[in-house]
């Protein structure tokens, strides 16, 4: 069994995180979708209380997994919360508990900050849904996650009367 460790990612890890995000996109057949790069990620990871933060899973000193998170204000509870942007484990390192441990680290840090919620969205065909079910993440029956992207966002923005 290969040993792995989990650590908080730093701004210096931004390029590595961007590479892992590209691997996640490729896994879902979206190789051309990603415009994320190390510089744009580093820009939002700056400071003592960054907007975006993450964790790296390493095996024998090499990055093989990551979780990327963003803080948000939960209007349901009136408190800060964590949004799990991405969770990815290299296929060669799956089914060994690394994904669960990454999520446990996210949960521990959220709890340490006094947060009571971690939100996430997942593609319906993502096998990680089994993990989310096992840890007790609820799938609301009365809520959906919508996205407004690219041309559709631009189209609506043109309607604004500024």
pLDDT for 5-57, tens place per residue? Answer: 999 999 999 999 999 998 888 887 776 655 788 999 999 999 999 999 999 99
Residue corresponding to tokens 């709890």: 111
Helix ranges restricted to H, 28-157:
38-44, 98-112, 129-134, 150-157
pTM for the whole structure: 0.88
Rounded Cα gap, residues 92 and 60, in angstroms = 13
pLDDT per residue over 116-152, tens digit each? 899 998 888 888 888 998 898 888 888 878 888 888 8
Neighbours of 103 (CB within 10 A): 21
Q: What is the DSSP letter of 93?
A: G
Structural domains in the chain, CATH included, are 4-157 (3.40.630.30)
CA angle 47, 59, 123 (to 5 degrees): 70
């Amino acid at each position: 069994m290969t040993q792995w460790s989990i650590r908080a990612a730093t701004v210096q890890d931004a390029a590595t995180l961007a590479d892992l995000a590209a691997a996640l996109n490729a896994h879902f057949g979206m190789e051309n979708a990603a415009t994320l790069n190390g510089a744009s990620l580093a820009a939002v990871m700056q400071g003592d209380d960054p907007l975006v933060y993450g964790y790296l899973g390493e095996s024998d000193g090499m990055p093989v997994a990551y979780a990327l998170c963003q803080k948000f204000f939960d209007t349901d509870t009136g408190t800060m919360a964590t949004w799990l942007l991405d969770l990815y484990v290299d296929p060669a390192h799956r089914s060994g508990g690394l994904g669960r441990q990454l999520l446990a680290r996210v949960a521990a840090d959220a709890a340490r900050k006094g947060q009571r919620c971690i939100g996430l969205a997942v593609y319906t065909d993502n096998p990680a849904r089994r993990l989310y079910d096992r840890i007790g993440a609820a799938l609301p029956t009365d809520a959906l996650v919508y996205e407004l992207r690219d041309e559709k966002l631009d189209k609506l923005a043109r309607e604004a009367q500024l």
